[in-house]
Amino acid sequence: MNADLVLRNVMLPTGRRADIAVVGGIVRHIGAAVRAVETIDCTGYTCLPGAVDMHVHMRGGVQAEKEDWRTGTTSAVAGGVTVVVDQPNTVPPIITPELLRARIREAEEQAVCGFAVNAGVVPEADLGGMWESGAMAFGETFAAPSSYGDGLDAETLRELFARIHALGGVVTVHAEEVSGRAPATLADHDRARSGEGEARAVQKVTGLAPAGLRLHFCHLSTAASVRAARGTVEATPHHLFLSRKNFDPDDTRARVNPPLRDEKTRHELWSCWDRIDVVASDHAPHTVQEKEAPFETAPSGIPGVETMVPLLMAAVQNGRITLASVIEKTSWAPAAILGIPRAGFEPGDRADFALYPDEITRIDASHLHAKCGWSPFEGLEAVFPEEVIVGGTRAYVHGDLRETCAAWYPGQGYLSRENK
Model confidence at 42, pLDDT cuts 50, 70, 90, reads very high
Catalytic residue among 68, 188, 282, 349: 282
End-to-end CA distance of the chain: 34
Beta pairing, strands 51-56 & 278-279? unpaired
Strand partners, 390: 393
Closest C-alpha among 387, 386, 383, 406 to residue 395 = 387
- In a domain, residue 407? The reply is no
- In a domain, residue 142? The reply is yes
Q: Tell me phi and psi for residue 68, to 5 degrees.
A: -135, 175
Q: Which residues belong to the annotated binding site for substrate?
A: 57-59, 89, 286
- In a domain, residue 228? The reply is yes
Q: Which residues belong to the annotated binding site for Zn(2+)?
A: 55, 57, 140, 174, 219, 282
Could you report the per-residue pLDDT of 198-235, keeping only the tens digit for each? Answer: 999 999 999 999 999 999 999 999 999 999 999 999 99
Instruction: CATH number of the domain at 393, please.
Output: 2.30.40.10
Contacts of 191 (CB under 8 A, 6+ apart): 180, 183
Report which residue type is found at 51: A
* pLDDT for the residue numbered 116: 98
Report which residue type is found at 377: F
Tell me the residue range of the domain where 7 lies.
Answer: 2-46+347-370+381-401
Say if residue 293 is in the same domain as residue 319.
yes
Output DSSP code: residue 183.
P
- In a domain, residue 410? The reply is no
Closest C-alpha among 121, 123, 126 to residue 97 = 126
- In a domain, residue 356? The reply is yes
Say if residue 312 is in the same domain as residue 397.
no
Say if residue 173 is in the same domain as residue 319.
yes
Say if residue 40 is in the same domain as residue 54.
no
Q: Which residues belong to the annotated binding site?
A: 55, 57-59, 89, 140, 174, 219, 282, 286
Report which residue type is found at 285: P
Can 4 be counted among the known catalytic residues? Answer: no
- In percent, how much of the chain has pLDDT > 90? 94
Mean pLDDT rounded to a whole number for the chain: 96
Say if residue 123 is in the same domain as residue 101.
yes
- In a domain, residue 300? The reply is yes
Say if residue 389 is in the same domain as residue 276.
no
- In a domain, residue 408? The reply is no
Whole-angstrom distance, CA of residue 420 vs CA of residue 417: 5
Say if residue 144 is in the same domain as residue 284.
yes
Instruction: CATH number of the domain at 139, please.
Output: 3.20.20.140
Say if residue 356 is in the same domain as residue 299.
no
* pLDDT for the residue numbered 344: 97
When divided into structural domains, the chain yields a total of 2
Could you report the per-residue pLDDT of 333-389, keeping only the tens digit for each? Answer: 999 999 999 999 999 999 999 999 999 999 999 999 999 999 999 999 999 999 999
3-state class (DSSP) for residue 316: helix
* pLDDT for the residue numbered 146: 80
Output DSSP code: residue 305.
T
Buried b (16+ CB within 10 A) or exposed e, 344-355: bbeeebbbbbbb
Rounded to the nearest 10 degrees, the angle between the axes of helix 97-110 and helix 69-78 is 60
Q: Tell me phi and psi for residue 341, to 5 degrees.
A: -55, 140
Model confidence at 180, pLDDT cuts 50, 70, 90, reads confident
Whole-angstrom distance, CA of residue 131 vs CA of residue 138: 9
* pLDDT for the residue numbered 237: 98
Model confidence at 413, pLDDT cuts 50, 70, 90, reads very high
- In a domain, residue 411? The reply is no
Whole-angstrom distance, CA of residue 151 vs CA of residue 157: 10
Say if residue 135 is in the same domain as residue 118.
yes
Say if residue 156 is in the same domain as residue 237.
yes
Whole-angstrom distance, CA of residue 298 vs CA of residue 381: 28
Contacts of 33 (CB under 8 A, 6+ apart): 6, 8, 19
Model confidence at 405, pLDDT cuts 50, 70, 90, reads confident
Say if residue 24 is in the same domain as residue 164.
no
Say if residue 77 is in the same domain as residue 161.
yes
